């Protein structure tokens, strides 16, 4: 049984069919790479998954149960979390507050009265340790590096019991050391049974971290493979739809 199944997802915008009958089957405790050239529809597929866009057709199942996901907060409560390509934290709030924002419908931009601050801080500290982030939860989020903010987002997802975490080009602004740190966290999450969807253009990263790969091209589903069963050259060929081995390293 799959952790996540997307079946027959289609989505059109005026003048463009962004997704045409897309399938995505993610195994429990696996890292699933989603690859395709710019404009292939990867981000649109994830936005459909999180209810940011309404799909024209298609169904979503989590652990075999059909889900109707209304918006990203709803997704979070149903076990799906997204770590964005462009992070969307509230920089002038503390790390702990950012981890608790959006968790309760009543919390908005007023004072966070719903939960006890001391309790919130100790909770936050516990989950930050889980992602090996050695920071004071009372610090403002804006004091952190991009990599550290990303870890806060992952900690938040984990603290909410996320079963599926989506990383959209997570390494685009990370140093080599930060990438190693992120991969260590990903491996530990996978070990604990969390499934991750890893969107990236970087072949070496896919090789290193992903178990399975789904390739999209021009809004269509090309196929799904175990990474160990498909060569770099074949991945590129499937992404662009023809032999083009000199373009990508």
Alpha helices in 40-89 (DSSP H): 42-49, 72-77
Compose the 205-224 pattern: x for residues touching Mg ion by CB under 5 A, - for all others.
--------------------
Residue indicated by tokens 């309790």: 119
Residue 96's CB is within 10 A of a number of other CB atoms, namely 25
What distance in Å separates the CA atoms of residue 40 and residue 220, rounded to the nearest whole number? 8
Q: Which residue in the set 6, 18, 154, 165 belongs to the binding site for ligand ADP (CB under 6 A)?
A: 18
Q: What is the closest distance, in whole angstroms, from the C-beta atom of residue 222 to ligand ADP in the complex? A: 12
Token representation of residue 247: 């373009």
Q: Which is nearer to Mg ion, 42 or 217 (CB)?
A: 42
Closest by alpha carbon to 137, among 121, 126, 148, 157?
121
Q: Which residue in the set 13, 108, 114, 126 belongs to the binding site for ligand ADP (CB under 6 A)?
A: 13
Q: Which is nearer to ligand ADP, 8 or 39 (CB)?
A: 39
Task: Name the 3-class secondary structure at 225.
Answer: strand
Compose the 20-39 pattern: x for residues touching Mg ion by CB under 5 A, - for all others.
------------------x-
Handedness of CA 50, 211, 195, 126 (dihedral sign): negative
Q: With contact defined as beta carbons under 8 Å apart, do 132 and 185 qualify?
A: yes
215: partner contacted, choices Mg ion, ligand ADP, none (Cβ within 5-8 A by kind): none
Q: What share of the chain is helix, strand, coil (3-state, %, to 5)?
A: 35, 25, 40
18: partner contacted, choices ligand ADP, Mg ion, none (Cβ within 5-8 A by kind): ligand ADP
Kindly give, in sequence order, each residue whose CB lies less than 8 Å from that of residue 237, ignoring residues fewer than 6 positions away.
Answer: 243, 244, 245
Q: Which is nearer to ligand ADP, 172 or 180 (CB)?
A: 172
Compose the 48-67 pattern: x for residues touching ligand ADP by CB under 6 A, - for all others.
--------------------
Compose the 29-48 pattern: x for residues touching ligand ADP by CB under 6 A, - for all others.
-------x-xxxxxxx----
Q: CB burial class (10 A; 0-12, 13-18, 19+) of residue 23?
A: middle
Q: Which is nearer to Mg ion, 83 or 144 (CB)?
A: 83
Q: What is the closest distance, in whole angstroms, from the C-beta atom of residue 106 to ligand ADP in the complex? A: 30
Q: Which is nearer to Mg ion, 38 or 54 (CB)?
A: 38
Write out the residues near Mg ion by the rule CB under 5 A: 38, 42-43
Write out the residues near ligand ADP by the rule CB under 6 A: 13, 16, 18, 36, 38-44
């Amino acid at each position: 049984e799959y952790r996540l199944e997307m079946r027959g997802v289609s989505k059109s915008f005026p003048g463009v069919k962004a997704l045409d009958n897309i399938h995505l089957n993610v195994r429990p405790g696996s890292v699933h790479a989603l690859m395709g050239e710019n404009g292939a529809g990867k981000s649109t597929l994830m936005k459909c998954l999180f209810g940011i866009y309404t799909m024209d057709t298609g169904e979503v199942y989590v652990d075999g149960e059909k889900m109707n996901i209304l918006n990203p907060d709803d997704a979070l409560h149903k076990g799906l979390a997204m770590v964005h390509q462009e992070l969307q934290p509230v920089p002038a709030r503390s790390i702990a507050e950012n981890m608790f924002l959006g968790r309760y419908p009543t919390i908005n931009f007023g004072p966070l009265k719903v939960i006890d601050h001391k309790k919130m801080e100790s909770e936050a500290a516990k989950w930050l340790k889980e992602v090996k982030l050695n920071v004071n939860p009372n610090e403002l989020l804006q004091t952190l590096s991009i990599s550290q903010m990303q870890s806060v987002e992952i900690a938040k997802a984990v603290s909410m019991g996320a079963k599926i975490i989506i990383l959209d080009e997570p390494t685009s602004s990370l140093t080599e050391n930060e990438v190693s740190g992120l991969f260590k966290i990903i491996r530990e999450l996978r070990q604990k049974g969390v499934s991750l969807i890893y969107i990236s253009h970087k072949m070496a990263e896919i090789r290193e971290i992903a178990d399975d790969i789904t390739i999209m091209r021009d809004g269509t589903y090309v196929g799904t493979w175990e990474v160990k069963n498909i060569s770099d050259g074949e991945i590129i060929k499937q992404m662009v739809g023809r032999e083009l081995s000199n373009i990508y390293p």
